[in-house]
Amino acid sequence: MKNLVLFGPPGAGKGTQAAFLKETYNLVHISTGDVFRYNIKNETKLGVLAKSFMDKGELVPDQVTIDMLNAEVGKNLDSNGFIFDGFPRNTLQADALEVLLQSHETEVSAMIALEVDDNVLVQRLLKRGETSGRPDDANEVVVRNRIKIYYGETAVLKSYYSDKNKYYGVDGVGSVEDITVRLNAVINTL
């Protein structure tokens, strides 16, 4: 199995690239946000639990997120692997992902980070905000704060996966096709 942690700040193009990688390598794309929305909408046991924390303005405990991801992995064990998007966010979550995958006799193959200059990210998000209707993409101050929070919370994961020789930085600037070619070049070496 090829199990990829797709990483990058808001606006780096993770969702766009995940769609291509999913098709090219027959991988299952697991977006933490999508998994949360599905579980909450369908009022699963985990969704109701997660919503109880969210309704109080609290962070959903890591174990609830991990249990949701484990259910998604368990439903798709016949796939060629997974693309994890939005998880892990810290080393405790990265350790938990390792344990989860080991329980299915597999492991993270690589963390692939789309690297994009902050000013490019800001311009991409503001442009997306013109059509997406997302208020968090329409305000430059909010956009820059999201990018700052991303780096503050997740920078440690670069070291975490580098220490395991599983970190790959990929230039995330250029045409969608050029970026896809760069990603494929990394994945084909795994």
DSSP conformation letters of 106-157: ----EEEEEE--HHHHHHHHHHHHHHH--GGGT-HHHHHHHHHHHHHHHHHH
Does residue 53 contact residue 64 with C-beta atoms inside 8 Å? Answer: yes
Could you say which of 22, 51, 128, 164 is catalytic? 128
Q: Residue 107 domain-assigned?
A: yes
Average pLDDT, the chain: 93
User: Is residue 166 in a domain?
Assistant: yes
In a domain, 128, yes or no: no
Confidence of residue 126 (pLDDT cuts 50, 70, 90): very high
2, 124, 146, 182: the active-site residue:
146
Integer angstrom CA distances of residue 188 from 21, 52, 105, 182: 11, 42, 21, 10
Note if 124 is an active site residue: no
What domain count does the chain have? Answer: 1
Q: For residue 27, tell me if it sits in a domain.
A: yes
Examine residue 124 and state whether it is found in any structural domain, yes or no: no
**Residues spanned by the domain of 173:** 2-116+161-187
Q: What confidence tens digit (pLDDT) does each residue in 48-70 have?
A: 999 998 888 887 898 999 999 99
CATH number of the domain that 8 lies in?
3.40.50.300
* pLDDT over 90 at 89, yes or no: no
Residue 122 clears pLDDT 90, i.e. is over it: yes
Question: Does the active-site annotation cover 164?
Answer: no
Q: Is position 41 annotated as part of the catalytic site?
A: no
Is residue 176, in this structure, part of any structural domain at all?
A: yes
pLDDT at 133 over 90: no
Q: What pLDDT is recorded for position 41?
A: 94
Is 127 among the domain residues? no
Kindly state whether residue 136 falls inside one of the protein's structural domains.
Answer: no
